[in-house]
Amino acid sequence: MSDSTVNIDAIISPALTRCAVAGSSKKRVLEYVAHLVADHFSFLDENALFNNLICRERLGSTGIGQGIAIPHCRLENCDRVIGALITLEEKVPFDSIDNQPVDLLFVLIVPQEATSEHLELLSQLAQKFNNQAYCDSLRRCQSDSELYEAAMKPPAS
């Protein structure tokens, strides 16, 4: 990894970490995410963000299995890598590879031109969320701050 590579821990913030979000469908969850991120980064267009996330889902679900999804997209006018971590109150169908509904999401938004960085972060995320103990610790959280703290802890091996 080069010095210019962004680490996952550096791209999430308490403001974009939400615990027990109500979401009745994949579309509603992605609308919530677009609103949350655009509300925090006012230079981003909420509709463009939502449309890019939906377009990416149409290429193939970002549900990686075991109740986890990593929705992601590249976005014009985005000048930084943005991550949002969300747990859902109830699992929602996400067309995941294992057909299991999702309750744990890490959303990744990267600048339009950040191709290699995007792929590196997706790889890091998949690795991190492949750790069952780490995912279980996130799912046990009862508040946004507790979720953020749990996310910052390195996964147990």
- Identify the CATH number of the domain in which residue 94 sits: 3.40.930.10
In a domain, 61, yes or no: yes
In a domain, 97, yes or no: yes
pLDDT at position 122? 83
In a domain, 30, yes or no: yes
pLDDT at position 4? 42
Q: Where are the alpha helices (DSSP H) in the chain?
A: 8-11, 26-40, 46-59, 115-129, 132-139, 144-152
pLDDT at position 5? 47
In a domain, 126, yes or no: yes
Average pLDDT over residues 93-105: 96
pLDDT at position 65? 94
Q: How many CA atoms lie within 13 A of 8 on its CB side?
A: 24
> What does the pLDDT look like over 130-150, one tens digit per residue?
999 999 999 999 999 999 999
Place of tokens 């193939």: 60
Give residue 53's domain range: 8-152
In a domain, 157, yes or no: no
The residues carrying an active-site annotation are 72
- What does DSSP say about strands 63-65 and 68-69: parallel, antiparallel, or unpaired? antiparallel
pTM to 2 decimals? 0.91
